[in-house]
Each structure stands twice: as C-alpha cells, then as structure tokens.
Amino acid sequence: MKRKLLVVTVGFFAFIVIGDFIYSQYVLYRWRQWEAGIVRDEDGIREGCRPFYVGPRSSNTAILMVHGFSDSPPIFRTMAERLAKSGFRCRVMRVPGFSTHLTIHAKLTTAEWRSAIDREVRTLRKRHQRVVIIGHSLGGALTIRHILEHPESADAVVLLAPLLAVSDERAPVLSSRSWYEAAGFALNFTTVIQNTYPIDGYSDEARDFAYREVFVPRRIYDNLFEILDSVEGRAGEIQTPLLMAVSNQDHVINWKVDEEFFEDLRSKPKKLIWQNEAGHAIPLDTGWRELTDEIVEFIGQSE
C-alpha cells in the first residue's frame, strides 16, 4: 500500500513538473511569434506606447493619468484629449516595465512603480497650482498607495475600476488568489504568463484597442498582489476628494470590493459613478465621454 501511494505521489509531481516545462516552452514560443510583429523604438519601448502630454501648459490644474496592468498610455488618449479641451494639462505616464521587452519588464519592482508616480507628481507640482491623479485598474491601486504615503500630494483623485481584488468569474473551482498561490508552488519553469482573454469592453473603441500586453512575467503578478495587499482595508485613511467609477459588468476586478472600499472612504467630497454599460476598459468603453465630463465637473467642485 505504501509503495503504491509512493508511486502515485511521485507520478503526480512528475506530471506537474513535466506539464510546467512543456507549458513554459509553449508560452515562450508564442511570445517569440508575438514579439516578431512588435515594433520598438531605440529605448525598447513599444511603438505608440510612450508617455505623453496634452493640453495647455499654462493650465492651473494638471492631471496625472496612470494606466493599469497589461495596459499602456494609449488607453487614456481619447479621455486625455477631451480633458485637455476643458483646459487641463494632462500627463499620461507609462508605468515602468509595461510596453518593454520581457527581459526588462521582469526586473521591475513595486518600489520602482511607486517612485515613478512620485516623480511625475513632483514634476507637475512645480509647474501647476493643482494636481489631480486619475488611475485605472492597477493604476488605481497604485494611486491609492501613493495617496496613503503622500496625502498632501494630490488635490483630487479619480479611480476608474481600481484593481483592489481580482474577480473570480474566470477562475474555475478555486479563487483567483488561490490559483495565483498554487501557481507559485507548482510552476518553476514557467516565468511568463500569456493573457488569453480579450479586452473586457463593449464599445468598438475598447475592442479595437491594440496596445495591451499579451505576455507578462510571472514576477509582475507578484508585484500586483503586493500592491493589492498594501492598500487592503485602508480606505478610512484617505480624505482626499475622490471620484470612483465602476461597472457591475466588469469581469476583471471584484467590483463589490471597490464599492465597499468607497463606502469606507473619509474623502469629502466623494462620488461613486456606475458605468454599467462598460466593462473593465472604462477609459475608452461605452460612456467614456459622459464620464469624462463628470470628472471635469468633480475637479471643479473639489477646488
């Protein structure tokens, strides 16, 4: 009996190891195919994904826009241009690592993400009287982390589908967090994860968005959960004026956690907007124009 149990146990672990190795090679093969079609500039950044400014330099109010996980600055292009027409100076940053080669991306730490936001905010503070931060998805979680560390740095905050907890809708049997932890135990050869899901959006603008990361180093998932853990349960520490937009049709984040976080905020004023005709890609999904106008109004009210 013991011998049989030993054989079964060894066979099980051998199956995991072999499966891990085969999957790792398959993903790297797919990545090489994908990478062959990507154009990068002299700094290794994917063409079209550099950070940018838009809007009058003389504006009293600057807006820093922070994109999310597997995303890039272009996701804010249309929203930033609409905000600029209202007189704001918009800075759309690139979160370090994203839109770069995997070998560079894999080395990035959460400290580098946070430092990049700090630098961007300090630069805007030198040039403008007021600074507002808009964060989408992971960018929303990073914005929260920044405000917790530097509560005086922003005059208002806008969170678009902030990633505070991963949705379990796409996770069979176990929770998303449990699958992540299981992968950490089982996957030793696999260092890159392929995102096989299409963008979570309903409008043509969202579905046509072409600047997402398809392949992400496993280490970046570690960074993601590190940020989520660092802001969990800390809504009561935030007093900065805050607007949050979420959708109950979002299949990426757990929007109920966002709603609970909003209720615990001490921000004044604070406003929750439901974008239920949109998915997770709120910055360019259905209703983004009306939402942008709501953001403009909220920024004015928070002066």
pLDDT value of position 181:
84
Instruction: Kindly state whether residue 36 falls inside one of the protein's structural domains.
Output: no
State the chain's mean pLDDT as an integer.
93
Mean pLDDT over 279-286 rounds to 98
Residue 115 reports pLDDT greater than 60: yes
Model pLDDT for residues 178-198, shown as the tens digit of each residue: 888 887 777 888 999 998 889
pLDDT value of position 188:
85
195 contacts 214 by C-beta, under 8 angstroms: yes
Instruction: Kindly state whether residue 43 falls inside one of the protein's structural domains.
Output: no
Instruction: Kindly state whether residue 246 falls inside one of the protein's structural domains.
Output: yes
Model pLDDT for residues 209-225, shown as the tens digit of each residue: 999 999 999 999 999 99
Model pLDDT for residues 249-260, shown as the tens digit of each residue: 999 999 999 999
261 contacts 232 by C-beta, under 8 angstroms: no
pLDDT band at 11 (very low <50, low <70, confident <90, very high): low
Instruction: Kindly state whether residue 157 falls inside one of the protein's structural domains.
Output: yes
Helix (H, G, I), strand (E, B) or coil at 85: helix
pLDDT value of position 2:
61
Model pLDDT for residues 86-106, shown as the tens digit of each residue: 999 999 999 999 999 999 999
Pairing of strands 130-136, 89-92: unpaired
Instruction: Kindly state whether residue 222 falls inside one of the protein's structural domains.
Output: yes
Model pLDDT for residues 38-68, shown as the tens digit of each residue: 999 999 999 999 999 999 999 999 999 999 9
Contacts (Cβ under 8 Å, ≥6 apart) of 220: 69, 97, 105, 106, 108
Model pLDDT for residues 227-277, shown as the tens digit of each residue: 999 999 999 999 999 999 999 999 999 999 999 999 999 999 999 999 999
Range of the domain at 150: 52-301
Residue 140 reports pLDDT greater than 70: yes
pLDDT band at 19 (very low <50, low <70, confident <90, very high): confident
Instruction: Kindly state whether residue 7 falls inside one of the protein's structural domains.
Output: no
Instruction: Kindly state whether residue 169 falls inside one of the protein's structural domains.
Output: yes
Instruction: Kindly state whether residue 11 falls inside one of the protein's structural domains.
Output: no
Question: How long a stretch of residues is the chain?
Answer: 303
Q: What is the CATH number of the domain that holds 95?
A: 3.40.50.1820
Domain count, the chain: 1
Residue 151 reports pLDDT greater than 90: yes
Residue 12 reports pLDDT greater than 70: no
pLDDT value of position 211:
94
Mean pLDDT over 141-151 rounds to 98
Residue 3 reports pLDDT greater than 70: no
